[in-house]
Amino acid sequence: MEFLQSIDQKLFLFLNGLHCSALDGFMWQVSTKTLWIPFYAVLIFFMVWKRKKYWWITILSIALMILLSDQGADLVKNTVHRPRPTHTPAIENMVHVLKAPDGREYRGGSYGFVSSHASNCFAVAFFVSLFFARRWLTIVMFCWAVLVCYSRIYLGVHYPGDILGGVIIGSAVGIGMFYLERFVYRKIQARKS
């Protein structure tokens, strides 16, 4: 376990060290949830449009997916208690951190394993990709998810292992919720026919 943590720290320091001041503002915005609200709104609009009168099944599935993904990540985070890089005494002074809009250094909460951002992004990416089954959209969704995940390392608040854990949880939730949504949709559609 110590060997894996050592590799995780080294990889984190390498990736976090690839910063440049020109990207700081961009990476800060990428990591905020509010930036992506129009993106989510467009996705939801087209999902609702595709499901027509059974749109509510999709909306409930998305809400449940985000709840499970986010709370699942938080449950692991609050059980494992692995400190974030910014709270790890051995490396905290080597971490490139950014200043939040209020002027304070952004260091995140105490614990980082697993990343809720990674969990939520990959849940959404899998759900949307399977829902629409369009290659170009799948590429867009996973590029978006990877960018958000990297922004968390760039900001210094997650190790790559934290991201990987979030990716695993989010992927499982996203895939599971897609198949549950499709099953319920088909059952209800069959009854109404």
**pLDDT tens, 87-140?**
999 998 999 998 887 888 889 889 999 999 999 999 999 999 999 999 999 999
Instruction: Kindly indicate the confidence band of residue 13, based on its pLDDT and cuts at 50, 70 and 90.
Output: very high
- The backbone torsions φ and ψ at residue 83, rounded to the nearest 5 degrees and listed phi first, read -60, 145
Q: Please report the domains of the chain, with CATH numbers, ordered by start residue.
A: 2-192 (1.20.144)
114 cis-preceded (ω within 30 degrees of 0): yes
Burial letters 44-80, b for 16+ CB under 10 A, else e:
eeebeeebeebbebbeebbeebbebbbebbeebbeee
Burial 174-193 (b: 16+ CB within 10 A, else e): bbebbeebeeebeeeeeeee
pTM of the model: 0.92
Angle at 44 between CA 118 and CA 50, to 5 degrees: 125
Tokens standing for residue 68:
């499970």
The DSSP symbol for 106 reads P
More confident residue, 108 or 72: 72
Distance CA 36, CA 2 (A): 37
- CB 28, CB 156: distance < 8 Å: no
Distance (Å, whole) CA 4 – CA 161: 9
CA dihedral 125, 127, 133, 136 (to 10 degrees): -10
| Torsion 191-51-136-125 (CA) sign | negative
Alpha-carbon distance of 56 to 44, in angstroms, equals 11
- Measure the CA–CA gap between 183 and 160, rounded to whole angstroms: 34
123-182 confidence digits (pLDDT tens):
999 999 999 999 999 999 999 999 999 999 999 999 999 999 999 999 999 999 999 999
Confidence category of residue 35, pLDDT binned at 50, 70, 90? confident
Q: Residue 66 gets which letter from DSSP?
A: H
